[in-house]
Amino acid sequence: MTGIEQKLAGIRDADLLQEVEAARGGFLFAQIVEHILHRQRERDATRTAESAEAERRARLGRDQRRRDAVRLVIETQPTGPENLQHIHSVLALCGLPYRDPGASREFSRTYGRNSLSLTAGRLKNPETGAWEPQGLPYGPKARLVLLHLCTEAVRQRSPTVQVADSLSGFMREMGFAVTGGERGTIRQFKEQVHRLAACAMQIGLWDGQGEASTLNVPPFRSLDLWRPQGEGEWSRTVQFHQDFYDSLIRHALPVDVRAARAFSGSARKLDLLFWVGYRLRALQRPLRLTWENLHGQFGAENASIRSFRQAFKADLAHLCEVFPKLPLSLDEGGLVLQPADPGALLVPPRQGIRNSAKQGMKLRA
């Protein structure tokens, strides 16, 4: 077999073979065959890589595939305004309950010298006119509802948000099927809207030297309920408390909605996403948190620090799968977060804050 015949034997794609036949007999036939063979080899390499990638993804679990897909999108598509949601900075530090507190009417969580206190409230039933007690907001859906409502308030530049017109679209964006009925996702999300609107929120600040302050920060001023024909009551509008809204406009924390989608099933991972985003925007020197600090802020569902450490390491590793440039490290003492460009989380830096530290991520057992 001659050299040209060997090259022709390596060309298999139908469209490339047509180009070979069209060039046959021409003055530059050998050079054209060489060029076509090069294109065939490029295609073969691409197909091999795609096949290997498909096999790799097939071995991943469902949640791993979701995180992997989000990482790929984030790496290949730049962050734009359409990808940014917003949440109040204070909510990035004050985590809600992870699980349903049941009949409990109060909840508190301490982070460092500060603490969050929630008290469940009541709402007026639109059909009976009776006061109905609401439970405490909890879980990932409550966090996603807050993210959505804060985002809509920032976008519309209004403390009043039309809930019924926008929540279904947000649910789809987060990867939830929009389903009705007793166990449907619509009911689950609107329940968290009602719990959030009814609850009272306080933040306690302590300097450790004999002085303390208590801040009343109710997010919502009012919630309008209505009862469509044949359905349960539904929230039409939510109005933020004016003080909270004004503070939100000044201190809105950007969150990449694609990352929120990746962690939409985990309350703690969403808390980690918000918390790291908040810290990176202002951090100018390394921040160390002990395991006791971390357990107090993120360990509500883990009674012991030992079980918390295992769960926290796994959750943090999942965050780093999506954002491999996060400047985080874990050791026997706890967590260290290094100053870095907030672009490690693909959110814009806070105006006036410039960090020049190199990015890097290291997780140790």
Structure confidence by residue, pLDDT tens digits, 290-337:
998 898 888 866 678 889 999 999 999 999 888 888 889 999 999 999
Closest by CA position to 221, among listed 251, 198, 253: 198
Residue-averaged pLDDT of the chain? 83
Tell me the average pLDDT across 64-72. Answer: 75
The predicted structure's pLDDT at residue 228: 54
Output the furthest CA–CA distance in the chain (Å, rounded). 95
Confidence of residue 365 (pLDDT cuts 50, 70, 90): very low
Tell me the average pLDDT across 100-107. Answer: 92
The predicted structure's pLDDT at residue 72: 76
**For 21-59, what is each residue's pLDDT tens digit?**
999 988 889 999 999 999 999 999 999 888 877 787 777
Query: What is the share, in percent, of the chain residues with pLDDT greater than 70?
Result: 88
Pair 361, 320: CB distance under 8 Å: yes
Residues 6+ apart with CB under 8 A from 151: 85, 86, 87
Length of the chain: 365
Joined tokens for residue 164: 């019924």
pTM of the full structure: 0.74
HSE, side-chain direction, 13 A CA sphere, residue 2: 4
Query: Is 119 a residue whose pLDDT tops 90?
Result: yes
**For 169-181, what is each residue's pLDDT tens digit?**
888 877 788 888 8
Q: List residues bridging with 216 in a β-sheet.
A: 202
Q: Please state, in angstroms and rounded to a whole number, the distance separating the CA atoms of residues 186 and 52.
A: 39
